[in-house]
């Protein structure tokens, strides 16, 4: 089963963002540094094609540092794009953010030409936390100003630097299956949209290959080197369940409980610093997903023609 999630309020945000983009110089997209590709919004990418872009890899404290560098290089090599990594412990994120945006649109400065920046991000990526830190003791200017909707916030970070926060988020169909699982594992997807056991198994299937030592250490498992090579996701799940006492009567394994333990530990960073995708992997997954989409479209068209 692929992860599908499309809360109605996200759809509503699309129009607001299209309107705001008309007078925006730089679009900031906040990404989860543990899953930058999966936490990006493909629709936002389409809508902001000709804009300057700043990618913030947030929650870098939870991500694999080496991979964060790979992702920064990946984004920094794209046209009109800059990328920075951040986390909530950063004491003065405004300086980093303003500097990167100014570098993208150097022609916008001064009171008559303020730099107008839109900040977007999927739920749970840490946008509110960052905005609160940016604001510090200052209060947000909201609504009741010409050109600013009630729900929208305009934060004046410097006299000529305006940051617009449009609440809610557009989220079209998740076409990359691996991305859906990564989003679910990270906690971005509503709980009722996912099967935790399936998500935990997908997560284990990746982590057992790239971070087996972290699994061994976190769950204090005794795994021989032969088992390290041969264990599948289900073997890891069984071993973790046994170790953590996720058992039902008669000693049967409580898979739901084991899955919850694993996902909670990943989300909090207790397993260690893990990044669930490299740029290279993401490009391959995306290509495969797009090919599949085209194939499905063609099949649908054929069926329609047959009916006619």
Binding site for ligand G4P (CB under 6 A): 58-59, 61-62, 87-88, 121, 123-129, 269
**Smallest distance from ligand G4P to CB 306, Å:** 45
Q: Rounded to 5 degrees, what are φ and ψ at 48? A: -110, 25
How many whole angstroms separate alpha carbon 154 and alpha carbon 142?
6
**Smallest distance from ligand G4P to CB 127, Å:** 4
Question: 78 with 129: CB under 8 angstroms?
Answer: no
Nearer to ligand G4P, 121 or 180 (CB): 121
**Smallest distance from ligand G4P to CB 60, Å:** 7
How many whole angstroms separate alpha carbon 89 and alpha carbon 133?
10
**Smallest distance from ligand G4P to CB 126, Å:** 3
Question: 192 with 22: CB under 8 angstroms?
Answer: no
How many whole angstroms separate alpha carbon 245 and alpha carbon 60?
32
Nearer to ligand G4P, 61 or 197 (CB): 61
β-sheet bridge partners, residue 32 = 58
Nearer to ligand G4P, 68 or 289 (CB): 68
Question: 101 with 109: CB under 8 angstroms?
Answer: no
How many whole angstroms separate alpha carbon 210 and alpha carbon 27?
33
Question: 4 with 195: CB under 8 angstroms?
Answer: no
How many whole angstroms separate alpha carbon 94 and alpha carbon 82?
15
Nearer to ligand G4P, 186 or 278 (CB): 186
**Smallest distance from ligand G4P to CB 160, Å:** 26
Helices (H), the chain: 8-21, 42-47, 65-76, 93-104, 127-135, 177-186, 196-210, 212-218, 225-230, 233-244, 255-268, 279-307
Nearest residue relative to ligand G4P (C-beta)? 126
Nearer to ligand G4P, 3 or 169 (CB): 169
Nearer to ligand G4P, 30 or 105 (CB): 30
**Smallest distance from ligand G4P to CB 124, Å:** 5
**Smallest distance from ligand G4P to CB 247, Å:** 28
User: Which DSSP string corresponds to 190-208?
Assistant: -GGG--HHHHHHHHHHHHH
Nearer to ligand G4P, 27 or 289 (CB): 27
CB atoms within 10 A of CB 133: 17
Nearer to ligand G4P, 37 or 93 (CB): 93
**Smallest distance from ligand G4P to CB 231, Å:** 29
How many whole angstroms separate alpha carbon 221 and alpha carbon 234?
14
């Amino acid at each position: 089963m692929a992860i599908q999630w499309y809360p109605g309020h996200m759809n509503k945000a699309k129009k607001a963002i299209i309107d705001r983009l008309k007078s925006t110089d730089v679009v900031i997209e906040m990404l989860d540094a543990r899953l930058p590709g999966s936490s990006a919004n493909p629709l936002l990418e389409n809508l902001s094609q000709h804009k300057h872009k700043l990618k913030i890899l947030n929650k870098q404290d939870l991500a694999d540092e080496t991979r964060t560098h790979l992702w920064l290089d990946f984004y920094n090599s794209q046209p009109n794009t800059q990328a920075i990594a951040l986390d909530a412990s950063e004491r003065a994120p405004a300086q980093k953010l303003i500097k990167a945006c100014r570098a993208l649109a150097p022609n916008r400065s001064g009171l008559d030409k303020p730099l107008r920046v839109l900040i977007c991000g999927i739920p749970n990526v840490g946008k509110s936390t960052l905005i609160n830190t940016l604001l510090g003791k200052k209060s947000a200017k909201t609504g009741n100003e010409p050109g600013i909707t009630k729900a929208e916030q305009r934060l004046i970070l410097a006299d000529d630097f305006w940051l617009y926060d449009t609440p809610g988020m557009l989220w079209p169909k998740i076409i990359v299956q691996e991305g859906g699982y990564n989003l679910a594992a990270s906690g971005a997807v509503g709980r009722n949209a996912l099967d935790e056991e399936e998500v935990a198994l997908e997560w284990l299937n990746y982590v057992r290959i790239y971070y087996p030592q972290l699994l061994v250490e976190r769950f204090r498992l005794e795994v021989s080197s032969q088992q390290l090579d041969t264990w599948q996701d289900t073997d890891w799940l069984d071993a973790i369940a046994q170790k953590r006492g996720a058992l039902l009567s008669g000693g049967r394994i409580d898979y739901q409980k084991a899955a919850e333990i694993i996902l909670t530990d990943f989300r909090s960073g207790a397993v260690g610093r893990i990044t669930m995708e490299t740029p290279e992997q993401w490009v391959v997954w995306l290509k495969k997903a797009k090919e599949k989409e085209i194939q499905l479209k063609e099949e649908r068209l054929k069926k329609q023609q047959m009916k006619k």
